[in-house]
Amino acid sequence: MMKNVISAVCIKCGAEHEAIPTITTCPKCGGILDIKYDYHYIRKNLTKEKLADRKDASMWRYMEFLPVSGESKVRKLRVGMSPFYEVPRLAEMLGIRRLYVKDDGINPTASLKDRASAMAVVKAEEAGVSTIACSSTGNAASSLAGNAAAAGFETYIFVPERAPKGKVAQLMMFGANVISVRGSYEDTFELSKEAIERWGWYNRNAAINPYLMEGKKTVALEIAEQLNWEMPDYIAISVGDGCTIGGLWKGLKDLYAAGFIDRLPRIISVQAEGCCPLNRSIQEGKDWYPMEENTLADSIAVGVPRNPDKALNAIRESDGIPVNVSDEEILSAMKTLGSAGIFAEPAGAAGTAGLKKAVGLGLIPADASVVSVVTGSGLKDVANAMKAAGEPISIEPDMALLLEAFRNKGLK
């Protein structure tokens, strides 16, 4: 029994359903569901002061904002409360007043997806199911594998064959049953859906399972708390499937509704130029339609987004700014973040790339304060990191050779 949750509402037909642990899409119309809270209850049971005193340095510190029936007994990895940095040098470089980076690469399996997977494991436990499945471009997969392994649950994971080796190695290491599908993300998703229905596994496909976005929204709760509830003007985030931006926005709206923040930032929605069906929809003022997946940022290479409605709502409702970036701009943003000690995977740096571009285009004023969310670690995709980083000086162990190499590079 969740005292803080009222229902699961369909964002398409508006029908309200009981928020049982296994609910996925709307039983009436097939639409995507949204978890509806009793904000009065939250307000009564949680204050900023109470939160400040909590020792739990994980996403579960926000229990009153989460759709769970109580303290789960399942063994959990420590997900969330990732580092939050102010980076004045980068702010100056980009030409804005204040820039913060939320580094969600620092999570147990090195991406923001851990927030959704941790939630999936807890909800699977509530549902009494101990096998969980998903399809993923990689990060959702490895995070599910890791979080489920910690809990002792079995996983079946479908990945498109293009997923980087680091991500596949990670989930194999966690003991997942991995199915590499020789096809697109769309093919992968469809096969996983069929298998999940056939065997009754718990479904960790984020677009279909409304609880997962509730896990993801904790990134917004943390940003707010880490900023001492003073909201920035903008939050930049990369967009693929649409669930992460949807979760971010849901978290902000929940905080606003419960009176924890007094204004809502505008969302900078960043997609890759080669795969931007959602931003294109906003920019063209038309319904979205599928697009090819032409970008090295594999985590946001989603030509058929599974959660278009929530993503588009997030952009529209927040008076958001859609920005599309090239692969070169992404690689360059990886170096920019690196120069502040933050190592992001391409999709993780895309938000920063988009921010840089938006500033350059005059879409963001110079006195703006911005949070850029890094959604995954650069260690997940070393091949692309090498593209951005270049090669080291390589010499025999000899001081004369070192001096020569430095001269050639213009060093010292």
Q: Interface residues for a copy of itself in 198-227 (CB under 8 A)?
A: 198-199
CA–CA gap between residue 238 and residue 147 (Å, rounded):
23
Which is closer to a copy of itself, CB of 151 or CB of 248? 151
State the Cα–Cα distance between residues 302 and 185, nearest whole angstrom: 7
Cβ neighbours around 95 below 10 Å, total: 14
- Binding mask 82-121 toward a copy of itself (x if CB under 8 A, else -) reads -x-x-xxx-------------x--xxxxx-----------
Binding status of residue 166 toward a copy of itself by CB under 8 A: yes
Among 33, 59, 122, 150, binds a copy of itself (CB under 8 A): 150
- Rounded CA gap, 185 and 182, in Å? 9
Is there a contact between 236 and 301 (Cβ–Cβ < 8 Å)?
no
Binding test (CB under 8 A) with a copy of itself, winner from 180, 227, 273, 280 = 180
Which 369-388 positions form the footprint of a copy of itself (CB under 8 A)?
A: 377-380, 382, 385-386, 388
Q: Is 391 helix (H, G, I), strand (E, B) or coil?
A: coil
DSSP bridge pairs for 135? 158
Q: How far is the CB of 300 from a copy of itself (least distance, A)?
A: 19
Binding segment for a copy of itself among 12-20, 74-82, 292-300, 314-322 (CB under 8 A)?
74-82
CB closer to a copy of itself out of 35 and 171: 171
Residues 197, 73: Cα–Cα separation, whole Å: 27
In the bound complex, what is the minimum distance in angstroms from residue 251's beta carbon to a copy of itself? 21
For residues 176 and 155, the answer to whether their CB atoms sit within 8 Å is yes
Segment near a copy of itself (CB under 8 A); pick from 191-199, 232-240, 253-261, 273-281: 191-199
Q: Which of 19, 168, 353, 364 binds a copy of itself (CB under 8 A)?
A: 168
- What are the DSSP calls for 77-99, one per residue? -------EEE-HHHHHHHT-SEE
- Please tell me whether residue 246 binds a copy of itself under the rule CB under 8 A: no
Q: How far is the CB of 210 from a copy of itself (least distance, A)?
A: 24
User: Judged by CB under 8 A, does residue 68 bind a copy of itself?
Assistant: no
Site for a copy of itself in 336-365 (CB under 8 A): 338-343
Cβ-count burial 191-212 (b if 16+ within 10 Å, e if not): ebbeebeeeebbbbbbbbbbbb
- Measured CA distances, 296 to 34, 271, 322 (Å): 31, 12, 19
- The letter for the amino acid at 350 is A
Q: Which stretch of DSSP H or E encloses residue 397?
A: none
Write out the binding residues for a copy of itself, residues 6-25 only, by CB under 8 A: none
Q: Which of 15, 130, 187, 233 touches a copy of itself (CB under 8 A)?
A: 187
Report, in Å, the least distance between residue 95 CB and a copy of itself: 18
Calpha distance 48→63 (Å, rounded)? 13
Site for a copy of itself in 305-324 (CB under 8 A): none
Give yes or no for residue 412 binding a copy of itself (CB under 8 A).
yes
Between 361 and 386, CB nearer to a copy of itself: 386
Whether residue 234 contacts residue 323, with contact meaning beta carbons closer than 8 Å, is answered with: no
Token pair recorded at residue 316 = 């529209």
Among 30, 152, 290, 360, binds a copy of itself (CB under 8 A): 152
- DSSP letter assigned to residue 285: T
Site string for a copy of itself, 41-60 (x = CB under 8 A): ----------------x---
410 makes contact with a copy of itself (CB under 8 A): no
